[in-house]
Amino acid sequence: MARFFNGSKYNRKLGVDMLPSNNSFSIINFNEKNEKIVLVNNFPPLLIPTQFYHREYQKEYLAFQFDMEEIGEIFETEIENYIALFFLSKQDYLFVNQQYENVEFQHELLYYYFKVKNLANSKKNSNQLAFIVRDGLVDFWLIKNSDLQLINRLSFTTEFDILYHALNILKQYSIAVEEVLLIMIDINMINKQIPKLLQQYFPHFSVPTF
């Protein structure tokens, strides 16, 4: 079963517009429906097994992890055998809707999850560890034997912290480095030391471009 862990907020610099308040999301390009895509990244999504999910209890699910006062507008996304819940504060949600007429809200981690899933080398590997790296934080997902196992957020100071996190995660789930595809998505595209180090330890390493 996939696990959810709380995390702290962070800033990011992807896309054409940065939004106010806590910088918990960004706006990127239009989608095929001519909607602006808002990538939410304040916290990792909360995963609820599909068989136990009831939409009327969305806020109650989130309240186990978050202060009720933080929870404004709630969104859901289907991912494998789960429903992923995420949210924006009322302030941020109102701001977006005041600025733009047509908006689609997606969680940043899920946005990249589905993009990576369609990559050819991703489809060939039943074990996958993917890191989304940004200013001192890394969001990641783990897939073992083609099943989603874990979504989490960790902090780091140097590239060696990320290496430690990767090796520790694989050890916990009994996956050898030779048996996993390690994927790195660098949001700011400035940290060249991280891929240089990781590719020394992981024979199957990828830095996709989208």
Read off the pTM: 0.83
Work out whether the CA dihedral 197, 170, 157, 111 comes out positive or negative.
Answer: positive
Report the pLDDT value the prediction gives residue 9, as an integer from 0 to 100.
Answer: 31
Which of 54, 85, 107 is the endpoint of a domain? 107
Q: Is residue 45 part of a domain?
A: yes
Q: Is residue 166 part of a domain?
A: yes
Looking at the fold, whether 80 and 159 belong to one and the same domain comes out as: no
Residue 103's pLDDT is 87
Q: Are residue 90 and residue 138 in the same domain, yes or no?
A: no
Residue 127 DSSP SS3: coil
4, part of any domain? no
Q: Average pLDDT over the chain, rounded to whole? A: 84
Q: Read off the DSSP letter of residue 44.
A: P
Instruction: Please report whether residue 92 resides in a domain.
Output: yes
137 and 103 together in one domain: no
Q: Give the residue from 107, 142, 173 where a domain finishes.
A: 107
36 lies in the same domain as 88: yes
Judge whether 181 lies within some domain. yes
Q: What is the CATH number of the domain that holds 174?
A: 3.30.420.260
Q: Identify whether 143 is part of a domain.
A: yes
Total domains in the chain come to: 2
Report the phi/psi class of residue 23: left, alpha or beta, with left for phi > 0 and alpha for psi in -120 to 50.
Answer: left
Answer yes or no: is 142 within a domain: yes
pLDDT in tens, 156-177: 999 999 999 999 999 999 999 9
Whether 206 and 128 have beta carbons less than 8 Å apart is answered as: no
- Clarify whether residues 27 and 67 are in a common domain: yes
Q: What is the DSSP string of 24-49?
A: -EEEEEE-TTSPEEEEE-SSPPEEEE
Examine the pLDDT at 185 and tell me if it is beyond 70. Answer: yes
Angle 159-172/193-201 helices, nearest 10 degrees? 40
Give me the residue label for tokens 């899920």. Answer: 110
**Which residues make Cβ contacts (< 8 Å) with residue 144, sequence separation at least 6?**
126, 127, 173, 175
User: Which residue among 54, 79, 107 closes a domain?
Assistant: 107
Same domain, 193 and 159: yes
Side-by-side strand order, sheet with 36-40 = 17-18, 25-30, 36-40, 103-107
Q: What average pLDDT does range 91-116 have in this prediction?
A: 90
Query: Does residue 100 share a domain with residue 179?
Result: no
If asked whether residues 180 and 134 sit together in one domain, one would say: yes
Nearest Cα neighbor of 159 from 184, 178, 128, 176 is 184
Does 182 share its domain with 144? Answer: yes
Residue 207, Ramachandran bin (φ over 0: left; ψ between -120 and 50: alpha; else beta): beta
Range of the domain at 129: 119-206
* Residues recorded for the chain: 210
Give the tokens for residue 103. 């908006």
Whether residue 148 is found in the same domain as residue 101: no
Other C-beta atoms lying within 10 Å of the C-beta of residue 22:
15
Token pair listed for 151: 């979504």
118-153 residue pLDDT tens: 886 777 889 999 999 988 899 999 999 999 999 999
Which residue, chain included where needed, has tokens 């429903």?
83
**Same domain assignment for residues 58 and 86:** yes
Which residue matches tokens 């990249």? 112
My answer on whether 96 and 126 are in the same domain is no
User: Which of 15, 42, 10 minimizes the C-alpha distance to 26?
Assistant: 15
Please check whether residue 1 lies inside any domain of the structure.
Answer: no
